[in-house]
Chain A
């Protein structure tokens, strides 16, 4: 079992790569998944402190995946990323602790993310 601080699931390459690079530069270990199903599989195989989920993904959308994850890992902090602010209520009710609205123009989101890291 591998151990990472963050798991980030996002199907769009540039969004995924950008956050992966920014977290890496900030000294935060990050594993990535390109869809919801892969994210859930990784979650079962590895250890993570926080999971970040994009809302629109193939297979399972962020809110659907969040419900599935929280049913098995109720204490795991989940953070949503979306560019659609009309989805906020849906994401909150799915159990996300934080909701980041894209595009993330600065790295201020990393400070918020750090609050959920144990290491």
Chain B
């Protein structure tokens, strides 16, 4: 799963909120993918919603699509190849609120990023397409956000100690995670994914946080079919960290 794609989808969901399509943080978001159960969660469950989306779509190589409509309930527009997030129940009236067409298009383009996005205006609705190849690509951002790490702790020595320790230990957790998965030891696998996520959080390695978290959720929800792909993405991020961490060390020291 691409971190970039996650950010884009999250931004689109944020767009729902800022545009008034979803009225408050307590509103629910429903996601329906053809041939699977619906996921309904509130806006604080972005990660689970995103996981649900990608977990179902990626193995089948169907281009993920988000349909945003300002005039009609997207849930009423279920179509085979479309992913249709929307609201339900009492919030349905909010979907009737019209927003300015120009504002909506402009914002979607900005949020989604021009390079990997095709936007088609279908009159009442805007369809944003994310080509699968883009979704599978790794994000281009550095694994560690050094400027954030610099401000996180009282001293650079603490940041350096934690970063060095994480680099030294992440490969061990990754290896044990893969071993545990190969033995169907899900409790152990979950623990190592969790440890990687926690360590990555402490050193501002967001790319690893997101990938480890996807695995953690996949194990918890028994979506084992996506693990191979998710592990590959995590392994790439960990390798990237190992090969570049001396640069981060210099940057922290400087």
Contacts and interface: CB of A to CB of B under 8 A. Distances in A.
**Chain A complexes with chain B:** yes
Interface string B175-207: 000000000000010110011011101110000
A83 B194 contact: yes
A102 interface: yes
B221 to A, nearest CB: 13
Instruction: Classify chain B: how many residues form its interface, as a range.
Output: 20 to 34
Interface string A16-39: 011001000100000000000000
Interface centre among B169, B197, B198 (most CB of A within 10 A): B198
Nearest to B196: A12
A17 B162 contact: yes
Interface centre among A11, A25, A57 (most CB of B within 10 A): A11
Interface in A52-79: 56-58
Given A12-B199, A102-B198, A17 B161 contact: yes
Interface residues of A, number: 15
B158 A14 contact: no
Contact of B202 (A14, A25, A58): A14
B195 A17 contact: no
B183 to A, nearest CB: 14
B113 interface: no
B52 interface: no
Contacts of A57: 191
Contacts of A13: 165-166, 168-169, 199
Interface of B: 154, 158, 161-162, 165-166, 168-169, 173, 188, 190-191, 194-195, 197-199, 201-203
10 contacts: A11-B195, A12-B198, A13-B199, A14-B166, A14-B169, A17-B165, A58-B188, A83-B194, A103-B198, A103-B201
